[in-house]
A and B are shown apart, each in its own frame.
Chain A
Amino acid sequence: MKKITLGFAFFTLLFFAGCTQSAPTVPSDDAANSKVSPGNISDSPSVTTDSGVNIKEGNATANDIKSRMSPSGGIPNDGTFNNSSEGLQSVYFGFGDYSIVNDMYKAIDKNANALKSYNGKIKIEGNCDEFGTDEFNYALGLKRAKIVKDALVAKGIPASMFSIISLGESTPVCTDAIDECYAKNRRVDLKKQ
C-alpha cells in the first residue's frame, strides 16, 4: 500500500511539473508581412501642444445625489441636474444600460409637453460615463439617444424634429472620480438647434 501511495505521489508530481504554465507561444502567420517604412511625416499642420491635458471640467456639486439615485443608477427628475436646453430635461441612465428607468418617464413627459409647442429642430445627444471603451461606449450613447427619441415620438412628437448623435464619454459634465459624477454623465441631452 505504501509503495502504491508513493507511486501515486510520484506521478502526481510529474503531472504538475508537466502542467507548469510556461511562455505562451504564438504561431506566426504570413499576413501583413509587407515591408514598411517609417513614412514621411508631414510638417503641417503645425503643432499646437503635445503636453496632454487631463480633463478637469465641470463645477456641479455632487452632494447627496447618491442618496437619491435609483437602484439602477438613474437620477430622479427633480430638476436639479440638467444639461439640456432651457425648458427641456436631460434623461439619465443606469450603468451600462440604455433602457429608460421609471424615474425618467417624468423627464420624457416634461420634454414631450415642452416640444408640442416647439417648431424648431432638436439634437438628441447620447452620453456615457468613462468606464466603457472604444466603439462600444459610443454605441451605448447612441442607443440612449435613440430610445429617448423613440419615447418622444411615441408621445406624438414628429420624428422629423430630431437628429441623434452619440458623444460617447467625450463630453462629461462632471469629472470628479466619484459615483455621483459618473451617474451625471450617463445622460441624454436635448439641445434646441
Chain B
Amino acid sequence: MRYIYILFFILTIMRGESDVSLTIKKNVGSRIGISIENISSGLMPAISQKSFILFKDDLTLSGNFETVESKNISGSDNYLLKYDLSGANGANLNVSLFNGDGNSLLFQKNYNISSFDKYPFLIHKSISDINKFLGYDSMEWINRLVLMSRYTGSGKSEIVLTDYTFTYRKVIVTDGLNLFPKWANKSQTSFYYTSINSGLPAIHEYSLNSGIKNHIVSGEGMLVCSDVSSDGNRLLLTMSPDGQPDIYEFDKTTKNSIKLTDFSGIDVSGQYLSNEKEIVFVSNRLGYPNIFKKYTDSPTVSQMVFKGRENNSCDTKGSKVIYSSRESKNIFGSNTFNIYMISNGSTFPITSSGENQFPRFSDDGSVVMYIRQSNGNSYAGFVNPRTNQNKLFEINSRVQSIDW
C-alpha cells in the first residue's frame, strides 16, 4: 500500500516536469536506413568532408532517413546514395540512389551551378528531389535562401546571403548599419532592409538579380519592414514619425501608410495572420513585452499569450504563431529564452533550454528556424515539429536579424 502511494507521488512529480519541457521522441524505428558514399575525386579534403556532412544533415533533418555505414545496410528496405561532386564549370553534382544491396539504380540526376562555392545548394536540391521521389512530404524548405544581418563592429553591420546551413555565404550589403532584411517576394529575388548611415533611417529594396537598390521610405527614429503581404504589395512597417514606435501598413504602389496601432509605449514586429486582415505584434502595453493581435480595421487589441513576462519576438505562417519567451530573470548575463508555437489554439514548446531567439517559420510553415546565442557565438537552430528532428549549425557571427 505504501509503495503504491510512493509510486503515485513519483508519477505526479514526473508529470509536472514533463509539462514544462519539450520531450523529443526519436522514433528511429520508422526511419529508412541510408548509406552515403562519396565517389568524388580531386576534391579538397575539407570540401569532401563538408559535402558528406551536408548530405547527412539534409537526410537527417528530413525525418525520413537514418544515415548508417554501408556495412550495416542490405536488402531493399535500405538505400545507398552515391555522389560525385566536381568543380569543372562551377559546381557539378551527380547523385545516384540505389537499393540497399547496390544492384538496382532507383534515381539518378545531374546538377550544376555557376560557381563552386554554391555547391551546398546542389546537395540540398538533390536531397529534396530524392525525398520527393520516394513519396515523402515536401522538404523544399532546404532549398530556400537565408538572409542574415550580422554585426561587424560598433555601428557596423552587413547583410549576408546564405543557404540554410550557413555553409555558403555571400556578403550583399555593406557600409554602415544594414538591418532587418526581409524577403520581398516568395521567389526570393529581392529583399527589403533598413539602412542607417549619417541620415535618417531608410528602407531600401535590393534586387539580387540586378544588384540595384531602390529607396522605399525614410523616417525619423526607427524604421523596420516586419512583414510583406502574400501579393507583395503591402508592407507592415514599424515607423515612428512622432518618435513613437507603432505599426503601419504601407502600400507599395501608392506609398501611403495606415497607422494600425496607437499606443504610448512600444508596438513592433507586426506579422500578418492567414487572412491578412489580422496582425500579430509585440507590445509592452501590459508593462512588459508580450504578443497581441488585432484586426487591421479595428482598434480592439487582444492578448494572445498568457505565459511569460518577456515575449519579445514573433513570426506567423498561416494561422500559426511562434514567439520567443524569456524564462529566467537574470538582469545581467545569460538567460533562458525558449521558442513556443501556437497552433489550433494549443501552445507548445519548440525549444527547451538555452538562449533561443529570432524564431522564423520556413516558407511552407513546416519547420522553425531560430538563433541560439551561446558564449558570444550564434547558432542557427532548426526544429521540424512533425518529425521531431532538430539541428544546430554554427554561424560564427553575431546575428542581428534573419529572414528565410
Contacts A38-B121, A39-B145, A165-B220 given: A28-B331 contact, CB under 8 Å? no
**A34-B186 contact in complex given A19-B15, A165-B221, C-beta closer than 8 Å:** yes
B103 close to chain A: CB less than 8 A: no
A52 to B148 Cα, complex, angstroms: 11
Given A5-B1, A50-B171, A135-B268, answer yes or no on A142-B221 (Cβ-Cβ < 8 Å): yes
Provide the residues of chain A in CB contact with B365, threshold 8 Å: 26, 28-29, 31-32
Residues of B contacting A166 with CB < 8 Å? Answer: 221-222
Q: How far is the CB of A52 from chain B (nearest CB, A)?
A: 3
In the complex, are the beta carbons of B238 and A41 less than 8 A apart?
Answer: no
Is B14 an interface position by the 8 A CB rule? yes
B244 vs chain A, min Cβ distance (A): 7
A63 interface residue, CB < 8 Å from B? no
- Are A134 and B312 in touch, CB under 8 angstroms? yes
Binds A, one of B48-56, B93-101, B173-181: B173-181
CB pair A133–B358 under 8 Å, yes or no, is yes
Most buried by A among B153, B180, B186: B153
Interface centre among B186, B312, B341 (most CB of A within 10 A): B312
How many whole Å from A166's CB to the nearest CB in chain B? 4
Count contacts on A: residues with CB < 8 A to the other chain. Answer: 77
- Interchain nearest-CB distance for A150 vs B (Å): 8
A22 to B348, CA, bound (A): 11
Answer yes or no: B67 CB below 8 A from chain A CBs.
Answer: no
- Which residue in A5, A39, A135 is a CB contact (below 8 Å) of B189? A39
B376–A38 CB distance below 8 A: no
- Asked if B135 CB lies within 8 Å of chain A CBs, one says no
B150: interface (CB < 8 Å)? yes
Interface residues as binary, B116-136 with A (CB distance below 8 Å gives 1, 0 otherwise): 001001000100000000000
Is A61 in the interface zone, CB < 8 Å from B? no
Please name 24 pairs of A and B residues whose Cβ atoms are closer than 8 Å in the assembled complex, sorted by A. Answer: A2-B1, A26-B320, A27-B343, A29-B320, A31-B365, A36-B186, A41-B118, A41-B208, A42-B172, A52-B395, A54-B376, A57-B154, A133-B324, A134-B312, A135-B268, A138-B222, A139-B222, A145-B221, A165-B220, A170-B400, A177-B333, A177-B376, A178-B332, A182-B332
The 10 closest A-B pairs by CB, nearest first: A52-B397, A29-B318, A31-B318, A50-B169, A135-B268, A146-B243, A139-B245, A136-B312, A139-B266, A21-B23
B contact set with A: CB distance below 8 Å: 1, 4, 7-8, 11, 14-15, 18-19, 22-25, 27, 114-115, 118, 121, 125, 140, 143-145, 150-158, 160-161, 169-174, 177, 179-180, 186-189, 196, 200-201, 207-211, 220-222, 224, 226, 230, 238, 240, 243-245, 265-266, 268-269, 274, 282, 284, 289, 310, 312-313, 317-320, 324, 331-333, 335, 337, 341, 343-344, 348, 357-358, 363-366, 376-377, 385-386, 388, 395-398, 400-401
Which residues of A does B touch, CB under 8 Å? 2, 5-6, 9, 12-13, 16, 19-34, 36-45, 47-55, 57-58, 73, 95-96, 131-136, 138-143, 145-146, 149, 163-168, 170-173, 175, 177-179, 182
